Every structure is written in structure tokens, then in C-alpha cells.
Amino acid sequence: MASSRKRIPGENEAAQQVSTLLGGLPLALNQMAALINSRSCSIEDFQAMYIKHEQRLHKQKKSGWK
């Protein structure tokens, strides 16, 4: 599926760094991608937020989850 979203300079590098921070784990990447989409933030913004609030982000639960 093609995306109509514009590419932002530095986005690929930030995505690589986020992948490294998450250990390249597919489920972790999928969950954080969902978080990025739900917050409508850039990968760069997410990366900074993740570094600052890593523990809190891992403890967050989606509404309806147990």
C-alpha cells in the first residue's frame, strides 16, 4: 500500500535509531508505530520522547487492554 505522506529529511536515520533502541523486535516496532500514528507525531519527536520517557512508554496500555 503506497503512502501519500511526505518524506521528511532525517526520517530514515531516526527510524533506524528507533529500531535499534527497540532491539529490532518486530512486535516492539509495531507497537511503537501504532503509538506514533495515534499521537500523530514525527519519528524524530517520538525518538526524543522515547529516550526521555522509555519506562513510562513501556508501561502504557491501550484502552480496553488488561
Burial of 32 from C-beta contacts in 10 A (0-12 / 13-18 / 19+): buried
**Close Cβ partners of 15 (under 8 Å, ≥ 6 residues apart):** 43
What's the pLDDT at 27? 93
pLDDT at 2 over 60: no
Stated pTM of the model: 0.67
For the chain, which residues make up each domain, given as ranges?
24-51
pLDDT in tens, 13-36: 999 999 999 999 999 999 889 988
Provide the CA 46 distance to its chain's centre, in angstroms: 6
Provide the CA 66 distance to its chain's centre, in angstroms: 22
